Amino acid sequence: MTDDLWTPPAVLLAVDLVILTLRESRLHILLVERGVEPYKGAWALPGGFLGHAEEDLTAAAHRELAEEAAMDVESLHLEHLNVYGAPGRDPRGRVVSVAYLAIAPGLPEPTAGTDAAGARWQSTDQVLCGELELAFDHQKIAADGVERARAKLERSSLATAFCGPTFTITDLQRVYEAVWGISLDPRNFYRKVQKSGGFIVAADADRKVTSGRPARLFKAGPRKDLYPAMLRPAQPPDTKGPER
């Protein structure tokens, strides 16, 4: 095709956000209820179009999160997840979305902002299994975000951020089980943690328990990248996550 016959396609640029946290020992994702068409009344990831031609993508992501979920974004570290641009993903036209991911502990209850009819934390189990259908291709984006979070726990010390200043090995194991969605053998888990030098270090105190020996307490170690990695155990196709 020659240049004089080529017309650039009209493309709209948007951002979408996968915000994950742990609540009641389960992995949750932030969703908003759409207040306008298309998909009015459906649940979706926070996000929207760039506000103007000069707006930075990350700035747009922060703005949309504040507008749709009234959430303080200063404490959130957003990382690039992926770009989604399949034809037909948005009935309004050709829309390419840049998705961002944030995983953080202790995130507050969201409040619907000016651009949403509602906002809530939703268990990722219900989203990934399709029990709750999301607007657009947000089911795919959410699944990609959860998989990225699971992979980050394999090779980084992120899990310790979801524990208190001091914690037991059992506390740490529960974080991995919640994010990975599987049950772990305590002995194998303890062995893997101990092999990853600098991941955690012993604290100066033990936690009292109602019976038996006091539980040893640990705190986050100096290493941010785990070596060897805490790889997920292979699971049979029909294996279900832990019952909560």
What is the full per-residue pLDDT of the chain (244 aa) written as tens digits? 566 777 777 899 999 999 999 999 999 999 999 999 999 999 999 999 998 888 999 999 999 998 898 887 777 899 999 999 999 999 999 999 999 999 999 899 998 877 788 999 999 999 999 999 999 999 999 999 999 999 999 999 999 999 999 999 999 999 999 999 999 999 999 999 999 999 999 997 666 555 666 789 999 999 999 999 999 998 665 545 444 4
Q: Are residues 22 and 115 in the same domain?
A: yes
Whether residue 170 lies inside any domain: the answer is: yes
pLDDT at position 76: 86
The Cα-based distances of 5 to 1, 8, 82, 87, 93 in angstroms read 7, 10, 32, 22, 22
Extract the tokens encoding 184.
């772990």
Q: Are residues 9 and 116 in the same domain?
A: yes
Angle in degrees, 0-180, between the axes of helices 169-180 and 138-155, rounded to the nearest 10: 150
How far is residue 242's CA from residue 78's CA, in Å, rounded to a whole number?
Answer: 29
Q: What is the dihedral of CA 165, 166, 167, 168, to 10 degrees?
A: 160
pLDDT at position 244: 40
Q: Are strands 26-34 and 116-123 parallel, antiparallel or unpaired?
A: antiparallel
Specify the number of domains making up the chain: 2
Q: Return the H-helix or E-strand segment holding 33.
A: strand 26-34
Q: Are residues 133 and 20 in the same domain?
A: yes
pLDDT at position 1: 53
Domain span including residue 175: 156-220
0.75 surpassed by pTM: yes
Whether residue 111 lies inside any domain: the answer is: yes
Q: Are residues 139 and 163 in the same domain?
A: no
Residue 111 half-sphere exposure, CB side, CA atoms within 13 Å?
5
C-alpha closest to that of 171 among 190, 194, 150, 198: 190
